[in-house]
Structure 1
Amino acid sequence: MTEGLEADVEELGDVATRRDELASRIRTHAGEIARELAVFQGGDYGQETFETEDGSWTLKYEAGDVQYLRFDPRSGDEIYVVSSKHPPEPEALETALADYGAFVAAYNAYVRSMDGLLVDVPETFPEIETTAELVAERDRIIERIREVGNAMASELYRYEGEYGTYATTIGGTRWELKYDGDVASYLRVGGSDGTYLISQYGPPAATEVRRLAEDVPLFVESFNEHVDELEADLATVSFAENE
């Protein structure tokens, strides 16, 4: 009854060691393919599948390194030859290695198929029209609007205090001038998501300037009416003594 307990136990350490060595060599070798694909496809990550007679190989890569190399045989379960997890079983690795050369050959054929890909691509291109004159005209108009805004800010500062806003509606659209002291902080058309004709940031698009500039005089007229009303109100103030 104790004969089985006295028998020697065969060790699998050598097989596991050999498996790990092969898996490491494949990772290194497939890593070269991953780097080539990353450079060619112009991205930090991606994947490519290559067909062989015995199955298909999918190589997924990220930052030029292998994420996984999977072999899908025509029959049987898929095998992750390289992965972020444990290496494959020795028998599965042996099955995949039998087709690994065909995988490399398929990759090489893929590379050769790209020969001459860019031969007919033109190297010269049409001249590009400059927007310099249009931008200069846009900036000139915006600077004139800023001068008008600052003049309005100066009047508001004198009449209404150190900072605040003046808003009105032109053609159904809200126009709002915000001032700080005698300087216009912004002139915004169209509410919080509108266009800033004046701001601390860059100027608006030329198309927006073209659309809105014609209404600037109406905005100024509305402001002048506002000032006239203020003056009329002040004119009614009297310090005469009660009789």
Structure 2
Amino acid sequence: MTKGTDAEVAEADRIAGRRDELVSRVTAHAGTIARELALLQGGDYGRAAFRTDAGTWTLKYEAGDVEYLRFEASGRETYVVSTKRPPEPDALATAMADYDAFVEAFNRHVASLDGVLDGVSTDFPEVASTDAVVAERDRVVERVRAVGDAMAGELSRYDGTDYGTFSTTVAGTRWELKRDGNRASYLRVGGEGGTYLLSQYEPPSAPDLRTYVDDVPAFVEAFNEHVGALDADLSRISLRGERE
């Protein structure tokens, strides 16, 4: 009897080779199912589960390829196809005994959807035009823009700088005008994360404009009071040597 280090070690090459061959063939076959699922589900990424009498098969696909194919039965999970490592041979054998049932379950799923869209009407209602709303919004925003640019120009003349802000509170809400030269960079209501009545990027929504446009006159009045206070401060300055 051979003992110890002289004992013969069984070679696993044939078993591993057969396993890898099976996994390769299943990967190619399940890849066809993955592509059909992608067509059905309308995307390159997804997952679907199919029940058989023996257990549950879950196929997850990504970009048209199988990410994994898992068989669950009697509390045991076997990844028949996986991006990590191949399955154990005995677990693979158990799963493969049910693989045909998995394919049949998938085929029944496809068959159950055949004709499901037959008779669906495509006679949709006419879509209402937003032309009038957009035109009116743009007209109002243009008026707000004219006022904002006028304020920016006056502030630029007074401060002698290209950039700056003017902020005040109207009806309990913070309003802020930021200028870039003689043009209003933005007019924001509500502080950080608020509503932009004027912006370099996009116009406000019609509902937002409707909410705040009636307060624009009060914002302008607050600005005028600010300018008036500046004028009053300057009028009180007296220079020595000035003739009265």
Q: Structure 2-normalised TM-score?
A: 0.86
The match for 2:192 is: 192
Opposite residue 224 of structure 2, the aligned amino acid is N
Instruction: Verify: 1:93 aligned to 2:92, yes or no.
Output: yes
The answer to which of 92-101 and 1-10 deviates more is 1-10
CA 1:38/1:238 → structure 2, altered by over 3 Å: closer, same or farther? Answer: same
CA 1:174/1:69 → structure 2, altered by over 3 Å: closer, same or farther? Answer: closer
Runs of 4+ aligned structure 1 residues displaced above 4 Å come to 1-12
CA 1:124/1:235 → structure 2, altered by over 3 Å: closer, same or farther? Answer: same
Instruction: Verify: 1:112 aligned to 2:111, yes or no.
Output: yes
Instruction: State the 1:166 CA deviation.
Output: 2.1
Q: Write the deviation string for residues 201-220 of structure 1: whole angstroms up to 9, x where unpaired.
A: 21111111111111111222
Instruction: State the 1:99 CA deviation.
Output: 2.1
The match for 1:201 is: 201
Structure 2, unpaired ranges of 5+: none
Distance 2:2 2:237 in 1: 121
The match for 1:181 is: 181
The match for 2:18 is: 18
CA 1:58/1:192 → structure 2, altered by over 3 Å: closer, same or farther? Answer: closer
Opposite residue 125 of structure 1, the aligned amino acid is F
Instruction: State the 1:54 CA deviation.
Output: 2.7
Structure 1, unpaired ranges of 5+: none
The match for 1:123 is: 122
RMSD: 2.8
Opposite residue 234 of structure 2, the aligned amino acid is L
The match for 1:46 is: 46
CA 1:94/1:215 → structure 2, altered by over 3 Å: closer, same or farther? Answer: closer
CA 1:120/1:3 → structure 2, altered by over 3 Å: closer, same or farther? Answer: same
The match for 1:71 is: 71
Q: Write the deviation string for residues 58-105 of structure 1: whole angstroms up to 9, x where unpaired.
A: 2222222222222234x5844332222443343333332222222211
The match for 2:229 is: 229
Instruction: State the 1:221 CA deviation.
Output: 1.8
Q: Structure 1-normalised TM-score?
A: 0.86
